[in-house]
Structure 1
Amino acid sequence: MDYGTTPLHGLPSRVTICEVGPRDGLQNEQAVLPVEVKAEFVARLVDAGHTLIETTSFVPAKWIPQLADAEELLDAITLAPGVRYPVLVPNERGLERALAAGVRDIAVFGSVTETFARRNLNRTVDESLAMFTPVVARAREAGLGVRGYLSMCFGDPWEGEVPVERVVEVATRMMALGCTQLSLGDTIGVATPGRVVAVLDALAAAGIPVDAIAVHFHDTYGQALANTFTALGHGVTTIDASAGGLGGCPYAGSATGNLATEDLLWHLHGLGIETGIDLQKMVDTSIWLAAKLGRPSPSRAVTALGDPLPR
């Protein structure tokens, strides 16, 4: 059923969705899916219209056993023209594996807060940035795009409120490494629109252009779409989301699922914002994947638009 669109002044006409389901989504699932299922998942995302798909992670298997098959998965994927398949790399060893696999886009994962940096990377913030420095430099020399994830930008389960000034400090250092994009993570889903505005305004004042910023909201308190709308109004045009609302963070117990791609699509399409992605195909994909995982999707749009039989 088409309920029409009603554009609002001041919003972008087109948005790129960075689909993080295959990496950020699956890494927190108890089930370890076979590589052929993961490859079909990626193929379904491409068929739905995605052009930016975070595919896997080159981290040691003992850290994220769900993604231990990174090379095998990339071998199983048929690369589509015009589609980017970034992978997460934690260090130079991960970059070497990515380069050997022919990857053209990578991501590094940093933290604003010291506690999460130690829990996630076993390093201080300074030490983690030092670790990323040669990774980003080598990747850029090889012509790769580099996405810099910055977690805990709006709140930390151990440290509480995160000062905006701290976000700006670490964000500017991340960008100075040579990152081509910075994704601001609300890792535990505590942000509300006022804080989103404060962070985006402060980053702009620090000289980070809005077209280099993406946002990555979790929906723990049901605020992900409200925060997304706020970011859109500030000119952000890359939004991270996960098929069916998959995801969380294995190192932050209070981090629930990502913003569901289908919920985001309903929101954007209703505003007349182009994405190039077919909502019904995403709904069908998330129903199919939920069956593979043995549990229903938490996405409201999947529930509303889906049928009981996976396709």
Structure 2
Amino acid sequence: MTRVAVLYGGISAEREVSLSSGKQVVIALRQAGFAVDPIDVGTDLAAVIAALTPKPDVVFNALHGRFGEDGTIQGVLDWLEIPYTHSGVRASAIAMDKQAAKAVFLSAGLPVARGRMVAIEELEATDPIPLPYVVKPSNEGSSVGVEIVRAGDNRRAEIARAWKFGPQALVEEYIPGRELTVGVMGDRALAVTEILAQANTFYDYTSKYADQGSRHVIPATVHPDAYAEALDVALAAHRALGCRGASRCDFRYDDTAGEPGRLVLLEINTQPGLTPTSLLPEQAAHLGMSFPQLCAWMVEHAACRG
């Protein structure tokens, strides 16, 4: 029987999300017939390595955020020569650095939002680009730290003074319209989902993980050309970064002037959420794949990429 170690928890701002993903994965893998060893990852890396001794057949990486999604744990697993799920060091590190990922997407001819990295001191002093705009950390996931600054909004200096994500922020044009997402498994884009946040103006952390925080429409009711473009761009982004296994791309779709509108790639997630409210499992289910089958597919496509 294949022995799978599930890494979950971690030490990033997304620890609670990862705990939820990991618990779901443990149950699903056992239902799929695997021998499963859950490992709650904390600050002691030596303890994690000890828990991986003797080596499992596969590591299921259910970590989110820094140290779990940015190439760090991937490098450790490559060193230990243990096959693991999802992307390797290079793709994980680039995807987690939003500005670096944008550079790759631009070179591949993919549509991205206009913007730049800005020193926090500059943000505190003045609007760095025309309003409205989005302020976000360059290396966090799950919309952690994301703020929208609109015309007439006096929160800019307050946001800058409270910033805790490093000396710079990524500032991008605000794209009006709708929130779309596309999951990718291997060489296949799955479906386009529209996300309708219930209580907020954008798909923030609460909308993503709170019970009934958002409503998902699958397949998204957008123009057929926009639907096809979203599938194509998600697969192209996955390939441009060299992702493996499953990923998920998030988009803004500006149809405010009519359809087909402007599709903008926001980011790619190399460790898509696997919680009860997550989008990739929902898209897989839409295509007839159960959650245990999805997790088993990830294990079967695990690799050591050193």
TM beyond 0.5: no
Structure number with the higher helix fraction is: 1
Structure number with the higher strand fraction is: 2
Larger radius of gyration: 2
